[in-house]
Each structure stands twice: as structure tokens, then as C-alpha cells.
Structure 1
């Protein structure tokens, strides 16, 4: 795989550059242990974006749903999770946490469903349906997707790589929706401090049938 084709792919690589710093500074999430892994999806993404900004690793605009809700909205009254702009190019991105074990190492079936369930259209909508939502939106900019995957270190899934998960999600989108996405970037991380959520990858995909007019 070559370099990132998307802005969010470049951002994913920057996330890996700062993730150990964020892991050390973010603090504990209630009783679930130290480090970034146990935190909620919006908190993880927002903390990584803030660190990327502070380090000056992305020469452009990044807005998150938590940090600037108005900036990620688009026509139709809906919103993306990330909005990126750089060198006259803009992208809207949906993001999801791929974390299938609880902090104690037990399976987390609800989190798996939030990613792969093709029937879960709302409350909360699965990532499969997030693809549909963004793909169908009247946005004249590229549409992209990002996943934060925590690869198990014990139990089921220890041999499932970031590439495996990225390919599986793309295949499931192709199977269950009228759209196709392509794997863009896989940026690996490891040696985080939480004993369960310590390794994985930042995954990105691009919608294959992008809008014809981007501006």
C-alpha cells in the first residue's frame, strides 16, 4: 500500500505520532484503567486531534464533533465526526471505535455490533449505517471513514491484524450496502499502558464513488 490518498489518512499517521503522549496524559476513565484505550470514542478522537494541533503535525483545519459541532454539520441537518480542510481540499469523515473487548478482557458484544451490525440503523447507528448516511449526504467533497482498532492481546482475536479488520469492514460494506469503500491507510501502534487496550491501528477508508464535483 502506498501513502495516504486522503486527508484523514494523513491524520491517521499523525495520530500514531502522538498516541503515546496522549496515552500518558489523558488520565483514567473512571474505574477502567489508565491510558487512552478505555475512554469513549469522542474523547479519544478529540484528544488525538488536540495533540496533533499542538505538535503542528497537520497543516490545515481539523474539526471534531466534540470540539466544534457546527463545523462538522452538513446539509440535511446531520453531522460527521470529523471535518478536514487543507490546500483547498475538504473532507467529511465518519469515525468509529473498533474495541471488541472490555477493559477486563471480556468480550464486548455491544461494541462489535456498533461496527458490523447491518440491521442497527439507530440508537446507536452502526458503522455500516454511518457509511450509508455519509455516502447519501448531499456533500460536494470527498467522504472518508476512520476506525480506531484495539487488537486483543489475549483471547479471541489476538491474530486478527489491523489489515484483516480493515479488509473485513470494507467487504461488509460492499455486502450489506449499495456502496463500496477502499482501504486507504493503516497506521499501527503498540506499547500503550492499558493491559488490554495496548495495541492496534488507526484505519482509514475512502468512498469509491465520490461526488463528481468537489467544490
Structure 2
């Protein structure tokens, strides 16, 4: 275990601990109630606000931090005197509000091909590894599924494992899943439970 691994485990645990409470208050103007339908940036904001209200957000977490070598922004950076961990986060939400499979989500997670307007969690791993932040770095997935999901491959632990394999295959990076922290009893009919997954890239 390393200090970076410990921090990434703690972040996943902290996020998962407040998601059910956030879910009880989260109401979207367009979609069914619950945190699941919200956009990635808003979910991060709501979770961090909930942790702050409990006094549990480390003061050294910064959001939307500029990459040292470019104008791009990193979702989260944790800093203290001896440690800097840049973290990119993504929603892992394979079903739409109506329960249908989201045709765009798979590439949002697993596509190895960078695009001008967007990046996948996979290309985020490469982006972080090649950045002037340096290694190690972290990745965070906010994963949602419905009860009795018929696709066995859509399980948090399976997604975490596949992601490791793909990062190693495409980029020859050392990556490890450090946490799969479950949560459940959410209000949305198709985003009913899930997990916060964190990985460390070395």
C-alpha cells in the first residue's frame, strides 16, 4: 500500500458514503428523480458539497485544475506538502433515463481514440500519464446500474477489471483498481445502485 493508494481508496469510500443521501434530494428538471441522470460535473459538485456539509472533504481537494502544460482542466487534484494526485473522473452509466442502453456510453469509457471535443476515461489515463503532473495519478468512475441487470458484464467489478486490461493493452501503463465502493437504494428506476471505482496509474 502507498500513500496515493490510501488516498484514492478514501476518496472512493467517501463518495460512496454520501451518494444515497444526495440521491434523496436530487431532482432533475427533465429526468426521473435521483442523482443518476445528472451530468458528471454536477454530480461531482453535489457529492463534494455533501461531504463538505459533514466536514469530511479534505481542504486540499481542488476542482477544475489547469494542466501544467496546457489549458485543459483536470477534474480533481489532491495536494499536500508531499503529495499531488491529479484525478480524472467519468460517469459509468450504461443506461439512459428510460432504461435503454446508452449507445454513446461505451465509447465514453473505453474508446482509445482521442477526439477534439471529448475524451474517454481510457484516453484520460493516457492524458494524465503523459502530462507534466507526473505519476502516479488517479481515475475515478461513478458507476450506476439497475436492479437485476441482465448483462452480467455490466457489474462494477467487471468494468473495473476490463478497464485495467484496456489501459495496459493500449498504453502499456501500470494500473491497479484500488477501490470498488458500493452504494444502493437509489430512487431512479434504472440507476438504482452502483459503486465508486478508483484506479491508480503508476
Using the size of structure 1 for normalisation, the TM-score is 0.85
Q: Partners of 1:159 and 1:99 in 2: how far apart?
A: 13
Show structure 1 runs of 5+ residues with no match.
Answer: 66-71, 209-215
Deviation per CA, 1:92-133: give whole Å up to 9, x if none: 101111001101110101111111112243321111111111
Asked whether the 8 Å contact 2:48–2:57 carries over to 1, the reply is: no
Asked if residue 73 in structure 1 is aligned to residue 57 in structure 2, the reply is: no
Q: Partners of 1:186 and 1:87 in 2: how far apart?
A: 28
- Residue in structure 1 matched with residue 168 of structure 2 by the alignment: 174
The runs of at least 4 aligned residues of structure 1 exceeding 6 Å deviation read none
- Residue in structure 1 matched with residue 54 of structure 2 by the alignment: 55
Q: Partners of 1:31 and 1:111 in 2: how far apart?
A: 19
Deviation at 1:167, TM superposition (A): 0.7
Show structure 2 runs of 5+ residues with no match.
Answer: none
Using the size of structure 2 for normalisation, the TM-score is 0.90
Asked if residue 164 in structure 1 is aligned to residue 158 in structure 2, the reply is: yes
Q: Partners of 1:128 and 1:93 in 2: how far apart?
A: 13
What secondary structure does 2:92 align onto?
strand
Deviation at 1:64, TM superposition (A): 2.0
CA RMSD, 1 decimal: 2.2
- Between Structure 1 and Structure 2, how many residues are aligned? 201
Deviation at 1:86, TM superposition (A): 4.5
User: Which region of structure 1 is more displaced relative to structure 2, 8-17 or 166-175?
Assistant: 8-17
Match of 1:127 among 118, 121, 130: 121
User: Which region of structure 1 is more displaced relative to structure 2, 44-53 or 139-148?
Assistant: 139-148
Asked if residue 207 in structure 1 is aligned to residue 201 in structure 2, the reply is: yes
